[in-house]
Amino acid sequence: MNTCYGLTGGIGSGKSTVAKLLEELGARVVDTDEISHRLTAANGLALPAIQQAFGDTYLDKDGALDRAKMRALVFSDMDAKQRLQAILHPLILKQAKSDARSPTEAPYTLVVVPLLFESARYRDWLNGVIVVDCPAEQQVARTLQRSALDESMVRAIMAQQMDRASRLQHADEVILNDGSLEQLKGRVAELHKRLAER
């Protein structure tokens, strides 16, 4: 199996941008958010179990998971959140491992996991973890810019994620994303060079 690194960071830290830049430089990217979207799309593998657990009201008109409605539920109901995670997380993990272990010409594989440290399922098979980091206020501003969430929802999501200091403590590599895109590109290129040489 080729070398696999986890990529994580809080909401709005720039994980997707860093993953895209590393992919452009030659890394293979396995994105657990994309896997989750596939599993919960119309006819997705997770839908029958979600339908059984939550009923048809949480499906949209196309038969896919109504993500906004489900997000509102799991933020207000811890039991619902745990039921959803019990359905989705094993399926996401299985697919991520399968994708990461398939043959590739890439120098390494990047597995993007938003809640990597919060989930005990990834650390033991990854060769290291990269944290994308920026100040909390930047996280809020960026998320408000790119999503339909309001500030209280963004802060509620952040409150459920591991705090910044703890994330940095667990990191093997840190990419600071507190400046311009050009600065970020430079930092990402240096990181890619190091990872590809290992």
Q: Could you read off the pLDDT of 172-197 as tens digits, one per residue?
A: 999 999 999 999 999 999 999 999 98
User: Given this model, what pLDDT does residue 160 score?
Assistant: 82
Instruction: Pick the last residue of a domain from 73, 105, 137.
Output: 105
Q: Are 114 and 18 part of one and the same domain?
A: yes
pLDDT band at 95 (very low <50, low <70, confident <90, very high): very high
Q: Residues near 25 by Cβ (< 8 Å), separated by ≥ 6?
A: 188, 189, 192
């039921």: which residue's tokens? 83
Q: Are 182 and 133 part of one and the same domain?
A: yes
> What total number of domains does the chain contain?
2
- CB under 8 Å, gap of 24 or more: what pairs does 157-164 form? 157/11, 157/75, 158/10, 158/11, 161/10, 161/11, 161/114, 161/115, 161/118, 162/10, 162/115, 162/117, 162/118, 164/10, 164/133, 164/136
Mean pLDDT of the chain: 92
Q: Are 130 and 191 part of one and the same domain?
A: yes
User: Given this model, what pLDDT does residue 150 score?
Assistant: 86
Q: Are 145 and 87 part of one and the same domain?
A: no
Q: Are 89 and 118 part of one and the same domain?
A: no
Q: What is the pLDDT of residues 32-78, one digit of tens each?
A: 999 999 999 999 999 999 999 999 999 999 999 999 899 889 888 98
Q: Are 6 and 81 part of one and the same domain?
A: no
Domain range spanning residue 49?
35-105
Q: Are 119 and 134 part of one and the same domain?
A: yes
Q: Are 59 and 124 part of one and the same domain?
A: no
Reply yes or no on whether the pLDDT at 1 is more than 70.
no
Instruction: Pick the last residue of a domain from 81, 105, 129.
Output: 105
Instruction: Pick the last residue of a domain from 43, 70, 105.
Output: 105
Q: Are 80 and 134 part of one and the same domain?
A: no
Residue 63 is encoded by which pair of tokens? 């038969």
Q: What is the pLDDT of residues 12-21, one digit of tens each?
A: 999 999 999 9
CATH (domain of 12): 3.40.50.300
Nearest-angstrom CA–CA distance, 17 and 137: 18
